[in-house]
Amino acid sequence: MHQVADNTRTCTMTLGGGSVNFREGETIYEVAERHRKEVPTLCYDPRLEAFGACRLCVVEVEGIRNPVASCTTKATEGMVVRTRTPVLDKHRTTLLELVASENRNTKVDSLSGYASQEFGNLLDRYPVRAGRFAGKKSGTSNTDDKNPFILRDYENCISCYRCVRVCAEQEGDHAINVMNRGFHTQIITEFNNDLRDSSCTFCGQCVATCPTGALGDKKALRAKDTPGEIKKTRSVCPYCGVGCSVDILTKGDRVVGIHPAMDGPANEGALCVKGQYAFDFVHHPDRLTKPLIKQPDGTFREAEWDEALQKAADGFLKVREKYGNHATYGIASGRAPHEAAYTMQKFIRATYGTNYIDNCSRA
């Protein structure tokens, strides 16, 4: 009979020479990560079911002849595990050399996606001889996919299937899948059409988890030649009431992209298409830069702030005098900054003593 792990039970094992505690049911990798043993991974994403494809996370376990994949092997009471030995280093280096032989474009722009530097960073960490196993390659590029958000360059794909798994497990969408095996492996949509003709919701999850930049953020990459460092600012998406945490990417004074925050308490890295890609309005040339006052004939004329604010204040006062406090209802835009939304609700509540205020985030 299958025994269910008791995750309240504390157990002890030896990890990298020291004694450590863990909860029953944890994998060796989870324990090693918590104790900062820096076990390398490629096919692993903590939000997904462990897959055990890349074998980079192998560790030595006393009593087991061959190294085991730590991401799929449960830790057990009394286990003795080594996470770093010359044999493991050689094993990992050879695996990386095999993968690198398929993917020679390892320097991808970090604007490609949240995890896009993972593979390149591992190649820097181990003494990898790129081209050692040079030969056949898998993955046919699909860069002519016309969708406006996701670059699909499978020349850089290493078949970790993180994209396919995140789409199924995290997004529940199953928009992409794997076709064929070995060197003929290809990530495809149903009937191998463009993403626009699939069930893809353009949540961007596959881009965020791709460790090689094979899937890239087309919108962010527009700024790859813009001079300046990329700065990340933590914020909360204003579009709806879920409160997804995001990191806003800026170069100079321009917003160039959005990264989902993997440690966001409400979203744990998930976003929808609006939170992920709908930020162009920030710098859109059609945005108002001056207040407009409506004329009797229905047209608008530009005005200075003092005049516009006075006009608005007169209008609010007139309505209140004539119809009372509950005649005014405030609707704030989901595209306004949080500070503006806060000020708006304060204005309505404090000025009119009503709760007649709303915005699309319902926050």
Residues at the contact surface with ligand SF4, assessed by CB under 6 A: 157-163, 166-167, 171, 173, 175-176, 187, 200-206, 209-210, 212, 214-215
Please provide residue 356's backbone torsions phi and psi, each rounded to the nearest 5 degrees. -80, 75
Tokens for 13, please give them. 């094992």
Q: Which of 31, 57, 96, 220 binds ligand FES (CB under 6 A)?
A: 57
Q: Which does 157 bind (CB under 5 to 8 A by kind): ligand SF4, ligand FES, none?
A: ligand SF4
Window 62-81: contact mask with ligand FES (x via CB under 6 A) = -------x-x----------
For ligand FES, which is the closer residue by CB, 44 or 154?
44
For ligand FES, which is the closer residue by CB, 54 or 249?
54
Q: Which of 23, 35, 47, 55 binds ligand FES (CB under 6 A)?
A: 55
3-state secondary structure 251-316: ECCEEEEEEECCCCCCCCCCCCHHHHHCCHHHHCCCCCCCCEEECCCCCEEECCHHHHHHHHHHHH
Q: Which does 167 bind (CB under 5 to 8 A by kind): ligand SF4, ligand FES, none?
A: ligand SF4
Residues in the chain: 363
Q: 196, 210, 32: which is closest to 112 by C-alpha?
A: 210
DSSP assignment string, 226-248: S-S-EEEEEEE--SSTT--EEEE
Q: Which of 31, 43, 59, 158 binds ligand FES (CB under 6 A)?
A: 43
Tokens for 81, please give them. 């595990």
Q: What is the dihedral of CA 180, 185, 190, 196, to 10 degrees?
A: -160
Nearest-approach distance from CB 322 to ligand SF4, in angstroms: 51
Beta strand 80-82 pairing with 10-15: parallel
Nearest-approach distance from CB 172 to ligand SF4, in angstroms: 9
Indicate whether 53 belongs to the interface with ligand FES (CB under 6 A).
yes
Q: Which does 79 bind (CB under 5 to 8 A by kind): ligand FES, ligand SF4, none?
A: none
Which residues form the interface with ligand FES (CB under 6 A)? 41-44, 52-57, 69, 71
